[in-house]
Amino acid sequence: MVRQIVYISSSPSRDEPKEIAAILAAARRNNAAEGITGLLAFVDGSFLQVLEGEAGAVSRRFEIIRKDARHSFVIKLLDRDIPERMFPDWSMAWRACPADHPAAAEVRTIARRGEIAPGAGDAALEALIASVFRSVPA
Ligand SMILES: Cc1cc2nc3c(=O)[nH]c(=O)nc-3n(C[C@H](O)[C@H](O)[C@H](O)COP(=O)(O)O)c2cc1C
């Protein structure tokens, strides 16, 4: 089993490209060393991140990430065991999703509500993540 944590957070940054490059560099270095894989997406002022790997490694890294001052309002959406990784080939994949992408409206709704719509279930979030990963150019 693989532990998977998915969260959404808010980015207050006015110097996004530089900050994101630094975040990604640290993420890829640490994650490769710790066997963590995942996706970091930037969607209209929000980060949406998937972290997956050995349970202890993922939880410890998430606790570090959630305290990072480069984002705020970190809301955990999923924390579960899954049979296999969604992003086995990525120490941290990156997608910047345009504000007019259909997924952006869903992300805005989650950010506003502070949770996935009740009853929508994990599958809806999985579909959203897959759509961002597949349809937004890297
Ligand atoms: C949105 C966001 C996502 C991040 N993702 C990761 C990550 O996947 N892995 C990671 O090691 N650090 C990530 N970080 C950075 C951590 O908060 C922290 O700065 C870093 O892990 C410290 O690593 P260091 O001790 O090697 O400098 C992220 C930060 C932000 C703001």
Residue with the smallest CA separation from ligand 1 atom 9 is 27
- The residue count of the chain comes to 138
Residue ranges of domains in the chain:
2-135
pLDDT in tens, 20-62: 999 999 999 999 999 999 999 999 899 999 999 999 999 999 9
Q: How far apart are CA 46 and CA 12, in angstroms?
A: 9
Ligand 1 centroid to 23 CA: how many Å?
6
Question: Is this model's pTM higher than 0.75 or not?
Answer: yes
Residue 136: predicted pLDDT: 80
- Topology of domain 2-135 in CATH is Alpha-Beta Plaits (3.30.70)
Residue 27 Cβ inside 6 Å of ligand 1? The answer reads yes
Q: Which residues contact 53 (CB under 8 A, 6 or more apart)?
A: 2, 3, 31, 34, 35, 36, 37, 85
Q: Which atom of ligand 1 lies closest to the CA of 64?
A: 17
Residue 1 pLDDT more than 70? yes
